Amino acid sequence: MAYQSIQGLAHGRLDLLNQLRTFLVTTTGWTLHDDQSADPQPYFVFKSHGESGAEDVYLQFRISTTSGRIHVAAFQYWDAATHTGVNEASHTSYTYLRVEDSADFIFWLFADLDHVFVVTKLISTYYGHYSGSLKRFWSGAVALTQAAVTAGSGVVLQVNDATVVTPGQDYVIKDDAGIERVRVSAIDTAVTPNTITVETLVRDYASGAKIGEDPQPVINSYYNAPGTFYAVNKFDGWTSASGQQGRCGAANGGLQGETDPEMRYGTTILFPWLASMSGSAAYQELRGELIEIFAVGGGNVASEDTIQIGTDSYRVFNLTTGGWCAVKE
């Protein structure tokens, strides 16, 4: 579905959780994958295949045991029958929506089938939280395995389309249970189904597994985004819930003070928020950028102002720690 946004008033954090469910499922088109509203810590797990129909996004929003928070976690996969997730990306101390337990507060929700961005206003402070896929810098094309495969050396995968990979290059393969980095040694597009041969496969994979450059660029940010986040995976798989750390930075080179307002016409310049994997030097890379969120200076705008660019409107917030940003409405 198309990009959506709303502004509303929440009567405490449980009310926001329920309004978030309505917005994502009814308005935006996400699937309510697991409804645990009767749990002592009520939560919902939302699922989306993205705007492309080829993504895997699983997000859990849960009433936290800590006051003032709705905890957020992202997963490689969530089993709704057993209420358990595979390869979580979260941190109990940081990945949450900053909210009021029972008092009223204003909120804004921005989403499409790839991501959701939540802004809450507590008194006069604005908090932002981003979760879902990135606008990736790598290709989103994937080949789907047509049969289950077993771990080993020189493994041949039957796939629907082998043209999305190149022999001699490394790729990520994933299903609902595992993920790893593999090197493609050969492809055959003359046979049906096509085949991809990988040098080594560490674990077994089910039919329907995906292989590609970056098949699941899902992240879960701190409560004061843009800033630090945890990814569901990195280029060579998953380590732990907080083992795939990244951070966002505005692509303004520190020049926003000289470009907002831009003196020739007094316009506001929108810079993308870039997302990179940080932490260990073993997997640092520039991964992509946040979807429809841009850094701005505060020179000629105030929080809750709108910026009009053509037919598109952007809502401005001075987020705590994250700084000035403009979010497409």
Each domain of the chain, given as residue ranges in start order, spans: 4-135+217-328, 142-212
| Angstrom distance (rounded) from CA 240 to CA 269 | 38
Rg (CA), the chain: 21
* Band of pLDDT at residue 259, cut at 50, 70 and 90: confident
| Pairing of β 210-212 and β 312-319 | unpaired
* Band of pLDDT at residue 264, cut at 50, 70 and 90: confident
Half-sphere exposure of 51 (CA within 13 A, CB side): 15
**pLDDT of the residue at 1:** 61
For 120-129, 178-187, 262-271, 315-324, which range has the lowest pLDDT when averaged over its residues? 262-271
For 8-17, 44-53, 254-263, 265-274, which range has the lowest pLDDT when averaged over its residues? 254-263
Tell which residue, 130, 47, 31, has the closest CA to residue 85.
47
For 201-242, what is each residue's pLDDT tens digit?
999 999 999 999 999 999 999 999 999 999 999 999 999 999
Check residue 282 and report its DSSP letter. Answer: G
Question: Could you tell me which residue, 152 or 266, shows the higher pLDDT?
Answer: 152
Element (H, E) at 258: helix 256-259
Reduce the DSSP state of residue 13 to 3 states and report it: helix
For 108-151, what is each residue's pLDDT tens digit?
999 999 999 999 999 999 999 999 999 999 999 999 999 999 99
Question: Could you tell me which residue, 2 or 51, shows the higher pLDDT?
Answer: 51
| Pairing of β 312-319 and β 323-328 | antiparallel
